Chain A
């Protein structure tokens, strides 16, 4: 009874804050609503007993991704009047795209059936959640059963990261940079060290 109530609270808040994300006028408010949405999703995960996923959702999405969003959006100087201009002009095309997307989603929602084996798995999950915590179960799955796929995914992300840095990084001339190694390697005679007695001063 109380679980159902809490579920509807979280689910309702998730949907409501999701709606606020797209309808809020101020982009910073949108990001803040998005954060609330993430929180309620984490709450839903907790109700399912997936505590690891709930915590990771908060750490990764709220603690890192949304901070970067907020960072970028805060610094944008959004001119709202300019954004509104041409709304009617773009309405037919935008409406058409939206309608096609909605139609596809509805078609998928009505045609979708879970496979036979999946139903069996939900009734008797492997490994038994009574025996192992879900952190252990996930770890075993990722790092033991599917280690090569997992490592490949990691490698692809690493390559993407290095590529992105390489593409955007440029060295400009005429910038004075601090080289810590040079400073540490400086001859000790250039600095005079004095032992100061407590209460005396130099």
Chain B
């Protein structure tokens, strides 16, 4: 059936159609999951605060994310008169696009990946390091002091925590012996990396919180001192794009944590009665729950303490861990290329 349809198109066009179809199949569920992540966050934090959370729109408030979306869609887009128009409108697009582009290399199951490239982990690292531009450009182009201060803080924070994330990745990929994300998952068939690398797992989650500007590291959008940080001047759809980008970035960190430490699509305890993608989704949900839990539990860090934590605690620790990992693997003769 599909072959018959394929025969109607020239081969180049058909490949293009297949790729676009795959992208749609990834992005549509992603946006729905993201919408319900916002709902889940409000519900979970609500129950931790002994409140009810959203419960009015639809049964159990399940239609709340769509009501919010429609509201944002119909509001007026306000352009500040002193803003640098082009960059002002370009910044939210960058945040959103960068957040989506990462998903090209994330393996949802065995072989279920859009682009199975050799340098997958570097690709994720490269693309996620671009997220800072959306924030910085937004802060600068708004031409407002609050937004600018928020952007400066965020740039410093994201650059600092990227360094320790990079070193954490080095430890993991030395253990796995590959830069390909699917190969990293397959290397965890004996044992998930969360067991030998437990401290790194904690570090990665904390750095992920800082990288996505989540509480307790949400200084860029600290509403008590900066009103809302870099996105003060944004309204309606541009604001919605920032919001979407931020939550999709959370999901990216969740997906990366499950690929690097929790065995991706592999079933725990040999429970293979559920297919791989379901396990993958369950692991992402677990990490998201930790993110929300942290937000409901911890107070916000002070800015200098945040910088100290990144440079003086996380960075030396992950560096020492790289040396330890490499040394242990050499001693055991399990370094990739050795045995």
Q: Which of A56, A67, A136 has the most CB of B within 10 A?
A: A67
Do A55 and B126 touch across chains, with their CB atoms under 8 A apart?
Answer: yes
B119 within 8 A of A: yes
Shortest CB distance A181–B (Å): 12
Chain A residues with CB below 8 A from B148, complex form: 74
A28 within 8 A of B: yes
Q: Which secondary structure dominates where chain A touches chain B?
A: helix
Shortest CB distance A62–B (Å): 6
Tell which of B52-60, B127-135, B193-201 binds the partner: B127-135
Identify the closest chain A residue to B129 (Cβ): A63
Chain A residues with CB below 8 A from B136, complex form: 67, 70-71, 74
| In the complex with contacts A35-B133, A178-B305, A51-B119 CB distance below 8 A | yes
Q: Which secondary structure dominates where chain B touches chain A?
A: helix
| In the complex with contacts A28-B140, A63-B162, A64-B159, A51-B118 CB distance below 8 A | yes
Identify the closest chain B residue to A2 (Cβ): B12
The CA of A199 and the CA of B140, in the complex, are separated in Å by 45
B285 within 8 A of A: no
B155 within 8 A of A: yes
- B residues touching A (Cβ–Cβ < 8 Å)? 12, 50, 87, 117-119, 122-123, 125-127, 129-130, 132-133, 136-137, 140, 148, 152, 155-156, 159, 162, 166, 179, 304-305, 308, 337
Chain B residues with CB below 8 A from A180, complex form: 308
Shortest CB distance A56–B (Å): 7
| In the complex with contacts A55-B119, A70-B136, A63-B87 CB distance below 8 A | no
Do A59 and B119 touch across chains, with their CB atoms under 8 A apart?
Answer: no
The CA of A158 and the CA of B217, in the complex, are separated in Å by 30
Do B122 and A52 touch across chains, with their CB atoms under 8 A apart?
Answer: yes
| In the complex with contacts A70-B136, A74-B136, A63-B117 CB distance below 8 A | no
Shortest CB distance A54–B (Å): 8
- 30 intermolecular pairs with C-beta atoms under 8 Å apart: A28-B87, A35-B133, A51-B119, A55-B119, A55-B122, A58-B126, A58-B127, A59-B122, A59-B126, A59-B166, A62-B126, A62-B130, A63-B125, A63-B126, A63-B132, A64-B159, A64-B162, A67-B132, A67-B136, A67-B159, A68-B159, A71-B136, A71-B155, A71-B156, A74-B136, A74-B140, A75-B152, A133-B118, A135-B119, A199-B50
The CA of A180 and the CA of B337, in the complex, are separated in Å by 43
B179 CB contact (under 8 Å) in A64, A67, A71, A135: A135
A32 within 8 A of B: yes
The CA of A2 and the CA of B118, in the complex, are separated in Å by 22
Shortest CB distance B83–A (Å): 13
Over the window 158-192 of chain A, the binary record of Cβ atoms lying under 8 Å from chain B Cβ atoms (1 yes, 0 no) is 00000000000000000000101000000000000
Do A59 and B118 touch across chains, with their CB atoms under 8 A apart?
Answer: no
Over the window 59-81 of chain A, the binary record of Cβ atoms lying under 8 Å from chain B Cβ atoms (1 yes, 0 no) is 10011100110110011000000
The CA of A97 and the CA of B253, in the complex, are separated in Å by 51
| In the complex with contacts A32-B87, A71-B152, A135-B179, A59-B133 CB distance below 8 A | no
Over the window 16-37 of chain A, the binary record of Cβ atoms lying under 8 Å from chain B Cβ atoms (1 yes, 0 no) is 0000000000001100100100
Chain B residues with CB below 8 A from A178, complex form: 304-305
